[in-house]
Chain A
Amino acid sequence: AQKVTQAQTEISVVEKEDVTLDCVYETRDTTYYLFWYKQPPSGELVFLIRRNSFDEQNEISGRYSWNFQKSTSSFNFTITASQVVDSAVYFCALSDNRDNDMRFGAGTRLTVKP
């Protein structure tokens, strides 16, 4: 069965610090997709990234970067030089071709203090 674990329930940093959000997943399948979504205080869910299981290249988008390691079943998310606007709940999610659903982790609440 699919499972996503985000062990960090809450993280608090001061602006301009770097922060890494951890995500560990479990799946039986060789083909699967990993996602990160952001939920700001306003409540909507915003897509950040999608990565398939055959692409282990790290991704960088501005201050955001993602480290996908199949050997450790992890898909970690790093924010460089954090800003107050990064304060949100971040969800990691997993989907495979078998069940046509998406499993979310419990989320990590990030607070960036000025």
Chain B
Amino acid sequence: NAGVTQTPKFQVLKTGQSMTLQCAQDMNHEYMSWYRQDPGMGLRLIHYSVGAGITDQGEVPNGYNVSRSTTEDFPLRLLSAAPSQTSVYFCASSSTGGWDIQYFGAGTRLSVL
């Protein structure tokens, strides 16, 4: 009964490095999304996908790329990490869309030095 699985749980990067945050769900959900959580700002939507092959930008997309080749996976790529991307990242999925109940992964804590 895995739900939404995120890896890694923790990561430290140097400025300019690239990495991919992994997200997988086993609930056959069409909608998947990535949020970042910063102190005092709640969660802000980075990118979302309404199905395989379809992605769109959220509120704070700059510096991040996504793709959705399968229903299960929705990786988030940082091409050139910056200190401003230090945050906690959450992946979420729902059955239909952004208006549906979101099921969240455990989060990835990322530090960019």
**Smallest Cβ distance from A2 to chain B, in angstroms?**
10
Total interface residues on B, CB under 8 Å, equals: 26
Q: Given contacts A44-B106, A45-B104, A91-B42, are A96 and B99 in contact (CB under 8 A)?
A: yes
Contacts of A32 in B (CB 8 A): 99
Contacts of B58 in A (CB 8 A): 101
Bound complex: CA A47 to CA B103 (Å): 8
Contacts of B31 in A (CB 8 A): 100
Question: A100 contacts B107, CB within 8 Å?
Answer: no
Question: A100 contacts B56, CB within 8 Å?
Answer: yes
B81 close to chain A: CB less than 8 A: no
Contacts A45-B102, A47-B102 known; list 20 others, CB within 8 Å: A6-B42, A33-B99, A35-B101, A43-B88, A44-B106, A45-B43, A45-B104, A47-B101, A93-B43, A100-B48, A100-B99, A101-B33, A101-B48, A101-B59, A101-B98, A102-B33, A104-B43, A105-B42, A106-B41, A106-B42
Interface size class of A (residues with CB under 8 A): 20 to 34
Per-residue B-contact encoding for A74-114, CB less than 8 Å = 1, 0 else = 00000000000000000101011101111111110000000
Bound complex: CA A91 to CA B43 (Å): 9
CB-based nearest B residue for A91 = B42
B45 close to chain A: CB less than 8 A: yes
Per-residue A-contact encoding for B79-109, CB less than 8 Å = 1, 0 else = 0000000001010100001110111101100
**Which B residues between 25 and 48 are near A, CB-CB below 8 angstroms?**
31, 33, 35, 40-45, 48
A16 close to chain B: CB less than 8 A: no
